[in-house]
């Protein structure tokens, strides 16, 4: 017998009928229909949803020619914008309205910058964190999330007249707390008092 597939309002895609055998289970194909921004959920034996079968499920013997109908839930599409990234690309995420939706993990990179999260505008601050789940990011049919980048910078340490010792640099990220290294410089007959931003300045940052 034949199992046919009805797109049930889908905007694109096609699926050929499959042949199944009486007395045996039958493997459904992967869904090829699309109804963006709505999201495919499963197959039903009625247009309005009755007995439901998962995508590509192995189904029991129907025993006779059968039509399965694609079922859809209202959805929206999340696009990802690298927002000045120097490399990387990301596919969209299809989300279902009123249900939790997990954002993809960022794969964009920007030279000398660290990814901080996602904003809803190209100049906005972080409103969505990497790879986290959210419900109803937008009330519309689609939204674009823009990568937020924090600039990397390096802290160098100068002994400023020290008689011994050396220190490696510290790599820091803009807008992110950065722990300075513990001082290892020494100066005969002097005690270390902290760090200044000029060679003759007063202490602005404490040790460590």
Q: What is the mean pLDDT of residues 73-96?
A: 96
pLDDT (tens digit per residue) in 119-151: 999 999 999 999 999 999 999 999 999 999 999
3-state secondary structure the chain: CEEEEECCCCCECCCCCEECCCCCCEECCCCCCEECCEEEEEEECCCCCCCEECCCCEECCCCCCEEEEEEEECEEEEEEECCCCCECCCCCEEEECCCEEECCCCCCECCCEEEEEEECCCCCCCCECCCCEEECCCCCCEEEEEEEEEEEEEECCCCCCCCECCCCCEEEECCCCCCCCCCCCECCCCCCCCECCCCCCCCCECCC
pLDDT given for residue 121 in this prediction: 97
Please, which pLDDT band fits residue 96 given cuts at 50, 70 and 90?
very high
| Model confidence at 157: pLDDT above 90 | yes
| Model confidence at 49: pLDDT above 90 | no
| Model confidence at 51: pLDDT above 90 | no
Q: What is the mean pLDDT of residues 153-182?
A: 97
Q: Is the pTM of this model over 0.75?
A: yes
pLDDT given for residue 202 in this prediction: 94
């Amino acid at each position: 017998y034949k199992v046919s597939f009805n797109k049930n309002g889908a905007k694109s895609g096609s699926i050929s009928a499959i042949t199944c055998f009486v007395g045996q289970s039958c493997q459904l194909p992967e869904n090829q229909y699309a109804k963006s921004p709505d999201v495919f959920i499963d197959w039903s034996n009625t247009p309005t949803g009755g007995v439901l079968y998962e995508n590509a499920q192995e189904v029991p013997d129907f025993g006779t020619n059968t039509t399965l109908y694609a079922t859809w839930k209202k959805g929206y599409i999340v696009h990802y914008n690298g927002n000045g990234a120097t490399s990387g690309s990301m596919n969209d995420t299809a989300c279902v309205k009123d249900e939790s939706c997990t954002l993809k993990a960022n794969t964009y990179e920007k030279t000398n910058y660290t990814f901080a999260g996602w904003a809803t505008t190209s100049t906005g601050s972080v409103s969505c964190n990497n790879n986290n789940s959210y419900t109803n990011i937008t009330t519309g049919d689609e939204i674009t999330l823009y990568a937020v980048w924090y600039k990397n910078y390096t802290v160098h340490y100068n002994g400023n007249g020290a008689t011994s010792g050396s220190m490696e640099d510290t790599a820091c990220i803009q807008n992110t707390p950065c722990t300075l290294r513990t001082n290892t410089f020494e100066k005969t007959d002097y005690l270390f008092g902290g760090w200044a931003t000029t060679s003759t300045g007063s202490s602005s940052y404490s040790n460590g």
